[in-house]
């Protein structure tokens, strides 16, 4: 997340982004799911995709609506004799602090999971903003209503919250499966379960979701084939197949290689040897990041003798240092387990 220090100055003040701005309208759109988004986590042969990414890219959906609203706002101001004014819209396209600004505008409050919470829609909110030269009356913020609840902190699979209202992105599954270009740390992979794109645990468990409503915008209602997609179908996607399947989806932006590597972690966590034929094929994938996670999944699913045999052959032809290191880590794990078993046998 190197962009954060680079944009720090611009995030401190809206006028650093646009010196003419006098007011900011913050808008929220509900994307509440139709059913329990965590149910897929109990199906290890399926992949868990964050609710927001189960249909069209919300950036495109919301930006179009914001532009339409901004145009109407400026037109109405002109009709009212307020002169010529201007407006700019933002949906994750600039370093705008939507959550704290949204809280200041009275849309809700930032919960202990750091996301904006609403009494009307719970956790399921997309945010966008309209910057304008109009001088508009200011709304009052609402009170924090999290109270003593820590449900969102307690459920996090990777303990990504060092304290309430603080998030360590380096441990967050959403960051690990979407943003980072580096290999996901080995100690975090087992904690990911079958989450292959994002994580909704801290959002879904919030008690304020009892007031949530399902999304009314058709483009935000989940596609049936993305509610609980079969890992076996996703693992065999090549680049063209990936682009076609995720056309119009935010998932498309991370690329096939990163996505398939996420799916390999899920396969490795499944404990299901039926994935082995696919995993074996991916050991020779053109992408080094796919091969690296295929090695990890292979080490989790195959018998030790088969892993050691394959490791010898693979390391002779493997030229990528990180993939070679993954093979070595798998071998070390097998040897450690063998030593532990031998020790238990002599007690």
* pLDDT tens digits along 75-127: 999 999 999 999 999 998 778 889 999 999 999 999 999 999 999 889 999 99
Cα dihedral 55, 60, 66, 71, rounded to 10, equals: -140
Question: How many CB atoms are located within 10 Å of the residue 232 CB?
Answer: 17
How far is Cα 266 from Cα 64, in angstroms, rounded to an integer? 35
Q: Give 10's pLDDT tier (boundaries 50, 70, 90).
A: low
Q: Quote the tokens at residue 265.
A: 């972690």
How far is Cα 215 from Cα 29, in angstroms, rounded to an integer? 8
Identify the helix (H) or strand (E) that includes residue 296: helix 288-301
Q: Which of 57, 60, 84, 92 is catalytic?
A: 92
Is pTM beyond 0.95? Reply is no
Q: At what angle do helices 255-270 and 288-301 cross, to 10 degrees?
A: 10
Name every residue whose Cβ is closer than 8 Å to that of residue 48 and which is 6 or more positions away in sequence.
Answer: 40, 41, 193, 194, 195, 196, 197, 199, 228, 266
**pLDDT above 90 (res 167):** yes
What 3-state class would DSSP assign to 183? Answer: coil
C-alpha distances (whole Å) from 131 to each of 3, 25, 127, 160 are 22, 7, 13, 33
Q: Is 57 a catalytic residue?
A: no
**Tens of pLDDT, residues 217-238:** 888 889 999 999 999 999 999 9
Name every residue whose Cβ is closer than 8 Å to that of residue 264 and which is 6 or more positions away in sequence.
Answer: 235, 279, 282, 290, 293, 294, 296, 297
Q: Quote the tokens at residue 231.
A: 């890992």
């Amino acid at each position: 997340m190197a962009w954060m220090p680079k944009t720090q100055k611009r995030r401190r003040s809206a006028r650093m982004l646009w010196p003419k701005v006098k007011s900011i309208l913050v808008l929220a759109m509900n994307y509440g799911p139709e059913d329990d988004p965590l149910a897929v986590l109990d199906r290890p042969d399926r992949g868990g995709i964050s609710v927001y990414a189960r249909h069209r890219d919300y950036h495109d959906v919301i930006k179009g609506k914001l532009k339409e609203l901004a145009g109407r706002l400026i037109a109405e101001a002109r009709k009212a004799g307020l002169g010529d004014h201007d407006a700019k819209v933002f949906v994750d396209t600039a370093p705008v602090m939507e959550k704290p600004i949204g809280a200041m505008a009275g849309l809700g409050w930032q919960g202990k999971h750091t996301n904006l919470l609403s009494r009307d829609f719970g956790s399921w909110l997309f945010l966008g903003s309209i910057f304008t030269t109009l001088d508009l009356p200011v709304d009052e913020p609402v009170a924090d209503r999290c109270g003593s609840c820590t449900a969102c902190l307690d459920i996090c699979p990777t303990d990504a919250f060092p304290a309430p209202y603080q998030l360590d992105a380096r441990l967050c599954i959403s960051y690990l499966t979407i943003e980072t270009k580096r290999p996901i740390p080995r100690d975090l992979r087992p904690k990911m379960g079958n989450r292959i794109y994002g994580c909704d645990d801290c959002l879904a468990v919030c008690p304020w979701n009892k007031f949530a409503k399902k999304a009314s915008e058709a483009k935000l209602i989940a596609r049936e084939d993305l509610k609980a997609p079969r890992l076996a179908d996703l693992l065999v996607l090549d680049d063209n197949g990936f682009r076609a399947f995720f056309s119009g989806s935010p998932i498309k932006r991370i690329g096939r290689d990163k996505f398939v590597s996420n799916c390999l972690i899920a396969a490795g966590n499944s404990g299901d040897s039926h994935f082995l034929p696919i995993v074996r094929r991916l050991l020779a994938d053109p992408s080094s990041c796919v091969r690296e996670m295929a090695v990890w999944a292979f080490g989790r699913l195959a018998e030790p003798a088969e892993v050691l045999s394959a490791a010898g052959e693979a390391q002779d032809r493997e030229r990528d240092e990180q993939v070679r290191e993954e093979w070595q880590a798998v071998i070390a794990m097998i040897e450690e387990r063998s030593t532990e078993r031998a020790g238990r046998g002599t007690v």
